[in-house]
Amino acid sequence: MLLFVLLRAAPVAAASLAITVQLPDGRPLADAVVTVKAVGRNLPAPAPIHALMDQMNRMFVPEVIVIPVGSTVAFPNSDSVSHQIYSFSPAKRFQLPLYKGKPYSPVLFDQPGVVILGCNIHDWMIGYVDVTDAPFYGTTDAQGSWSANLPSGRYEITVWHPRMREQGQTLVRELSVDATDRATLTLQLTRPLRPAPMEDQSPSMDSY
């Protein structure tokens, strides 16, 4: 019995994974969503978190966030004008009527999928909440990089960005990682991003 307890208590070998995402010209792609799932085995689901997506200068800030299933997101309005957030996405349909400041409780996201946000007042405002059940997840930084420590094994890595033109709208790779080396992977898009939404009016003309 003692031997059994000692075996159960033995630490799992940890591995290191580093991913870099680049545009076709080699420049880094920031704010790309990276999700990592184990191949051939189930790992514990990530714990829910409390996230925040603000509204500033008539934009969602950040434009893209990734959260585990069961997480909540607060949508304060730090702008000088009112906004009215909505989503018709199957993973989460909701609406926050016209407001400034922080009048509403955080919104619960309990289904996986990409939730596209808009503003009924400012048509160019678009935000994205990627709700995932992957055990490892995150977004790339300004250098296009993301990294994580995870158990040794084989993993499926998916990269997504809302303006990607890649076939299937994602990049998917499989990679084995182990505790004896740092696994690195560079993914380069083959097509340029779609243009970002542009404001179609001057803020000075906006009274809401």
Res. 196 pLDDT band, cuts 50 70 90: confident
Task: List residues bridging with 170 in a β-sheet.
Answer: 160
Q: pLDDT value at position 164?
A: 94
Pick from 82, 122, 131, 120: nearest CA to 103: 82
Cis peptide before 197 (omega within 30 of 0): no
Q: Is the pLDDT of residue 197 over 60?
A: yes
Q: Is the pLDDT of residue 5 over 60?
A: no
What fold, for 13-44+136-190? Immunoglobulin-like (2.60.40)
Q: How many CA atoms lie within 13 A of 199 on its CB side?
A: 11
Domains 13-44+136-190 and 47-133 equal at CATH topology level: yes
Q: Is the pLDDT of residue 203 over 70?
A: no
* Mean pLDDT score, 123-151: 96
* Mean pLDDT score, 185-198: 89
Q: pLDDT value at position 130?
A: 98
Q: What are phi and psi of 7, to 5 degrees?
A: -65, -40
Q: pLDDT value at position 15?
A: 87
- Rounded Cα distance, 123 and 6, in Å: 60
Res. 198 pLDDT band, cuts 50 70 90: low
* Mean pLDDT score, 38-67: 95
Q: Structural domain boundaries of the chain?
A: 13-44+136-190, 47-133
Q: pLDDT value at position 206?
A: 56
pLDDT, mean over the chain: 89
Superfamily of 47-133 according to CATH: Cupredoxins -  blue copper proteins (2.60.40.420)
* Mean pLDDT score, 140-168: 94
Q: Is the pLDDT of residue 136 over 60?
A: yes
